[in-house]
Structure 1
Amino acid sequence: MSVPVLLLEAAGPESEALARAAAASGHPVHAITDAATLASYSGELRQLLAGCLVTDFTRPDQAAADITGYGRRIDAKALLTVNEYLTDVAARSCAALGLPGNDPERAAAARNKALMATAFEAGHVTTPRTTIVADLRELQVLREAGAVGFPCVVKPADGAGSAGVTVVTGPDELEPAWHAARAARGMYGMPRDERVLVQDHVQGREFSVESVTQRGLTSHLCITRKHTTGGIHRVELGHTLPVHLPAAAEHALLEQAVRAIAAVGIHNGATHTELVLGRDGRCTVLEIGARLGAGHIGVLMHHALGIDPWRTLWDIALGRPVTLTPARGGYATVRFLTTPHAGRLIAVTGLPEVTTTIPAVRVRANAGAHVAPATSNRGRLGHVIVTGHDQRAVDEQADRILRQITVTVAPESRT
């Protein structure tokens, strides 16, 4: 049955995929965005939409009231977002409209890392030791008292996409890391929590658990291996899924993911839980997002497992039963393009042709644009997706393709 649905932000790869999935099912899709972002909507995206509400996300309470009023006018039967910055507003709007969503009283804990740390502690989630600091002087006092160990991670309370996150190896690096965390900016000019988190740096392999929850019952779709940079910035350079681990390791990851999901009040929708698995088998949750994993993880699941995550999310949002049995047993990986040098982008060469096993090749940075080494996920220049039936072969092919790609950058003249 065709019914109107609300999509909190239609811009972005995952959001556009949600819009296409709803439209393909015959549902009129109404987007909620702000004026500046609406101006960036492509003609193709606009054609998918049955309507659009422009609101002001710098006033979240008013935005939630606007969304609620609009939803009642069109008799919306579902509301979704995969936008990290809007999950809190989405939960409160769902509650006001009587639609399936997450606990509005705890939704901010899935968005704000300071609130998340408190919720994780209450929910007995294994996490890094975390100290929340309000100003630089407080951080300096902690350092002088020997209360900050090294290496540690300094991050903004309400950041996303690794923006403003620094791995600090010594006392002299603390103040620059503090300023980097405070300088990180989100989307829509939303009010910021200016606090900064200082966490123990946990060593080990990084994974994420992709899950969906309906009426409080959670199903895990897969475990994803994360490829990240070293150094002071930990930018995600790739994802591979599904990953199969020894039974004890898988149990540890999934158990902690379930605890994290419960701790932040996830009742209906997707979650992306980021974890570290130590050599001793200890599993530590870094953070959780009340959304589908970004970085094309939904696309990877579709290619590798035959799961349509976007249709699944709409079914959950509409209160319909979902079927999550993988239709095939393949593997998929994405590798992101970056540059080691700052300057003006001249060209990206050596890109592979799109084939059945290389379904996506994209460069999103235009020639002539200023580029620089990635310090967050926003600094990535493009991506390549590789699929196949053997995990090692898929990873090796992706790495080989990446070595064949050349990013040519010219130093910008200084005047």
Structure 2
Amino acid sequence: MKRLVVVGTGPRLYREFMLRRIGGRYDVHLVIGRSAEWEMPYVSGVSVVPGMTADGIVAAVRAVAARGGVDGVMTWAEDHVVDTALAAAAVGLPGPGPDAARACRDKHVTRSALAARGVPQPQSELVADVAEARAVAEKFGYPVVIKPRAGVASQAVALVRDGEELADHFASAHRLPAADLRSPDRSVMIEEYLTGQEIAVDSVVRDGRVLPVFVSHKEMGYAPYFEETGHWTRGDDPLLGDPVITRFLTRVHAAVGYATGATHTELKLTDEGPKLIEINGRLGGDLLSYLCDSASGVDPGLALAAVSCGDAPDLTRTRALCAGIRFAYPPWHETRVEEIAFDESALPPEAGLAVPLVRPGEVVVLPHKDLMEGRVAFATAAAATREELSAALDRALAALRCTWSPA
């Protein structure tokens, strides 16, 4: 059994199923910033690194390698993609490469790398203040997208239609931490707004070869923000085999120099062809990997573990279903939750997970400039068609029983 170091785990609700699967196939050593809890049944060893600093993570992986050897190092945590790449390089194991990991973490570096290779993407410029932001927006033409240079989960990303809205949103984008950036004072990006279908492709990469694993489709809400209110995927999505998209993904990964690991690439299918929104150096969140397994029988976590150990991943599809997740939100901008639970007897047969995300007594705030976490529950389902899936998710969320009041 090969020994695999996993750096960080993330929320149990979203990542336990992957660690459970990986723990059944590999001798897993966990590097984490606290004492292991729910992770213990799936790992053989734990290194606690207070603060999860880059130096501490690299030292922990070196120590594990020195004691008994390591075959691979991996993470699915956004905060640790660069640190994990540094650790893999330090012990001579496959990885994306530190520079490629940084290019995925820093959206401005991504844009610069793609521009140097002529890879299609929206116009984008880095700005330091509102005056610069307005000048760039007027050059591109409204509406434009404002985003933080190193943000995650669409936090502080907004579509703005004029200079007043731009000024209103600038402080939120500028306020987000710009960790590991060389120019933290220039941490806001103004970008051309692209029209067209938006998709995300999760891939594993082995020695520079990009292997698409699944395509996910977003459901969006709470404009002008880009809140992801749901996702769905098909086990036999024709976009997976589209040669135009496959060639585009190869160009994107080559531009940032990504060698080995997993990526979550978001792109718009415009009238001029695919254009990159962003590339992330880890698997997608929001249970996307779980949905992939439900729809196709392919486990992206195991695929990442394989390439991290230098092996070919098993991407054999055993199902061709549609699987999705949909999130529930409160009715008021600030809502106090009094009771919340799913009526299991009302859930449709296609439903999978149905989970409240808040507890009685909590106050929940709808997505706004400084917060993109207004979810109160979610439900997943799998069905034969997209239409059947959507109907099943509707029925599943209708089974959510809540009492609440304006806060």
TM (norm. structure 1) is 0.87
**Equivalent of residue 323 in structure 1, options 314, 322, 325:** 314
2:302 is aligned to 311
Distance 1:176 1:320, change over 3 A: same
**Equivalent of residue 101 in structure 2, options 103, 107, 125:** 107
1:212 and 2:207 are equivalent in the alignment: no
Distance 1:232 1:351, change over 3 A: farther
**Equivalent of residue 171 in structure 1, options 150, 163, 169:** 163
AA of the residue aligned to 2:392: Q
AA of the residue aligned to 1:123: R
Q: Secondary structure at the match of 1:371?
A: strand
1:53 and 2:47 are equivalent in the alignment: yes
AA of the residue aligned to 2:93: L
Gaps of 5+ in 2: none
1:262 is aligned to 254
Q: Secondary structure at the match of 2:90?
A: helix
**Equivalent of residue 290 in structure 1, options 263, 269, 281:** 281
Once the two structures are superposed, the pairs formed by residues 55-134 of structure 1 within 5 Å of their partners are: 55=49, 59-61=53-55, 63-134=57-128
1:139 and 2:133 are equivalent in the alignment: yes
Between 348-357 and 154-163, the greater mean CA deviation after superposition: 348-357
Supply the distance in 2 between the matched residues of 1:167 and 1:112 (Cα, whole angstroms).
20
Supply the distance in 1 between the matched residues of 2:384 and 2:177 (Cα, whole angstroms).
40
How far apart are residue 371 of structure 1 and its match? 0.4
* Misfit runs of 4+, over 4 Å: 56-59, 140-143, 243-249, 349-356
Once the two structures are superposed, the pairs formed by residues 3-402 of structure 1 within 5 Å of their partners are: 3-12=2-11, 13-27=13-27, 29-34=28-33, 38=34, 43-55=37-49, 59-61=53-55, 63-140=57-134, 142=136, 146-185=138-177, 190-191=179-180, 193-194=184-185, 195-242=187-234, 250-278=242-270, 280=271, 282-341=273-332, 342-349=334-341, 351-352=343-344, 357-375=350-368, 378-402=373-397
How far apart are residue 116 of structure 1 and its match? 0.9
Does the 8 A contact of 2:104 with 2:280 survive in 1?
yes
Distance 1:69 1:135, change over 3 A: farther
Gaps of 5+ in 1: none
Supply the distance in 2 between the matched residues of 1:107 and 1:191 (Cα, whole angstroms).
12
Does the 8 A contact of 2:32 with 2:52 survive in 1?
no
Q: Secondary structure at the match of 1:44?
A: coil
Supply the distance in 1 between the matched residues of 2:363 and 2:65 (Cα, whole angstroms).
41
How far apart are residue 231 of structure 1 and its match? 1.2
Does the 8 A contact of 2:123 with 2:140 survive in 1?
no
Supply the distance in 2 between the matched residues of 1:255 and 1:406 (Cα, whole angstroms).
47
Distance 1:137 1:171, change over 3 A: closer
Distance 1:175 1:66, change over 3 A: farther
Supply the distance in 2 between the matched residues of 1:309 and 1:59 (Cα, whole angstroms).
27
AA of the residue aligned to 2:174: R
Supply the distance in 1 between the matched residues of 2:188 and 2:210 (Cα, whole angstroms).
31
**How many residue pairs get matched?**
399
Q: Secondary structure at the match of 2:190?
A: strand
Q: Secondary structure at the match of 1:379?
A: coil
Distance 1:59 1:378, change over 3 A: same
How far apart are residue 119 of structure 1 and its match? 1.3
AA of the residue aligned to 1:367: P
Q: Secondary structure at the match of 1:333?
A: strand
Does the 8 A contact of 1:7 with 1:79 survive in 2?
yes
Distance 1:411 1:355, change over 3 A: closer
1:41-85 alpha-carbon deviations (Å, 9 max, x no partner): 5x3323433332233557534543443344433422211100112
Supply the distance in 2 between the matched residues of 1:258 and 1:97 (Cα, whole angstroms).
27
Distance 1:293 1:232, change over 3 A: same
Distance 1:16 1:401, change over 3 A: closer
Identity %: 25
Does the 8 A contact of 2:7 with 2:75 survive in 1?
yes
Does the 8 A contact of 1:209 with 1:254 survive in 2?
no
AA of the residue aligned to 1:103: G
1:208-247 alpha-carbon deviations (Å, 9 max, x no partner): 1121111222221222211111511111111111287777
Q: Secondary structure at the match of 1:378?
A: coil
How far apart are residue 337 of structure 1 and its match? 1.7
Does the 8 A contact of 2:215 with 2:233 survive in 1?
yes
Distance 1:231 1:89, change over 3 A: same
Q: Secondary structure at the match of 1:155?
A: strand
Supply the distance in 1 between the matched residues of 2:231 and 2:399 (Cα, whole angstroms).
19
How far apart are residue 327 of structure 1 and its match? 1.0
AA of the residue aligned to 1:411: P
